[in-house]
Amino acid sequence: MPTFNKSLVWFRRDLRVFDHAALFHALKQSEQVFCVFIFDRAILDNLPRQDRRVEFILQSVIELDEALRRKGGRLIVRHADALTAIPALAEQLGVDAVFVNRDYEPHAVSRDAMVAEELQAAGRTLMAFKDQVIFETDEVLSLAGKPFSVFTPYKNAWLKRLHLAGDDFFLKAYPVESYCTRLAEPPPNLRGDMPALADMGFEKTNLGTLGMPTGMSGAEILLQDFASRVDKYHLSRDFPAVKGPSYLSVHLRFGTISIRGLARKAVDAMRLQGCSGSTTWLSELIWRDFYFMILHFHPHVAERCFKPEYDAIRWESGEQAQTLFNAWCCGATGYPLVDAAMAQLNQTGYMHNRLRMVTASFLIKDLGIDWRSGEGYFAEQLNDFDLSANNGGWQWAASSGCDAQPYFRIFNPITQSEKFDAEGKFIRRYLPQLSALPGKYVHAPWLAPAAVLQKAGLVLGRDYPLPVIQHDVARQATLTRYAVVKKASVTAVDE
């Protein structure tokens, strides 16, 4: 017999109606279940007025509402401050409990704690469940009962726990369909209309012209496409001109697809086919859990270095540093792979994972700019921005994070370009002014003879910038900068 008479499911980073922990538990434990999504002003008011993520969320919320209506329910949508809107709506609906899937970011943790207090004061309960990860917080610990700070032993423990419990236990989908008859339509006076972008103070972006599929249906399209080539994922994932990644990261970020479903597919492919691509893909999904765990146990990483000694590093500052940072942001550093990657980010809100490492290394170890500046810019631009993964990636590049690359390993933007975009296809796609350059020179145009530049119709400094810094000089400056951490003389490893 259900525990609650009426409950409310508060959708956040989980915009789907299937394999949904909070929705399943609410339906199973309640006679009636209402559903709500809040366009939270506490978040949205700090965003630029053109933001692809808001448009992606809106399209996904529209599809979510349509799916709930087909099942007998309806989505209440508000543009408000969630901190006050959720307790108020719970009061208006007369619910006994509010069901959510846990969010692990510091702001969300604080918000949910305050909402829980407000609900409790009114005699209501906030019920929270694990949904956006396979293993959360303290579910994977070392033999000493401590959180891991190195990925490989964490991954081994993660896999061991998965297999000891039986692969189906932690990856099994929540059977929401079994209880959908308990979905309820809200009273007419509480329904409201679906807000438009303009209603929330936002303008349309180029999301539609990018061909990025949104919502649950969009996630399924991408998943089916990736399933046909996942066996080659380990071979193709590092080459930005190749269709290698799944492109599902934004869908994982907003929960239009289930992490359990993805991990299940990877495990099945590994078990049935011995697929190396799926093994590598599963490892990437485990990295996602790893960074969520790090953020939970070490929330200071949101503002400071994971390794405190790295806070002693003196970064470049002043007008010249700001000029260099601006050049990096707009893709005008004079290093084609870096600039093409930043053009991809600025034009689409997406950046290939290999290029995230290259551009981060260039900002930190070539330009000497504080990693937090780059982290903040990515946070503004990335469609799939996720605090834990973004922070983990930037601190990895800065060598200040957990299991980060050694500080003396420095990406060479030319070598990386020659290795991962050998023919310059990616560079030419996003830097068409370099399209006529022979492959030999597209990675470093300033090395091209004058006759080659003239034939390509390219004037450096006018059509494309000269390098803002010399990599070899920057590499030595990085070792000096990082000397405060290790107090040792180390030869840089140029990759």
Classify each residue of 23-51 as buried b or exposed e, where b means 16 or more C-beta atoms within 10 Å of its C-beta: bbbbbbbbebbbbbbbbbbebbeeeeeeb
Sign of the Cα torsion 25, 26, 29, 31 reads: negative
Measured distance CA(148)–CA(140) in Å, rounded = 8
β-bridge mates for residue 127, sequence order: 99
Residue 92: name the closest of 196, 189, 224, 212 by CA. 189
Catalytic residues: 284, 287, 315, 353, 371, 394
Residue 323: name the closest of 172, 130, 146, 465 by CA. 465
Neighbouring residues of 273: CB distance < 8 A, sequence distance ≥ 6 = 231
Measured distance CA(36)–CA(191) in Å, rounded = 10
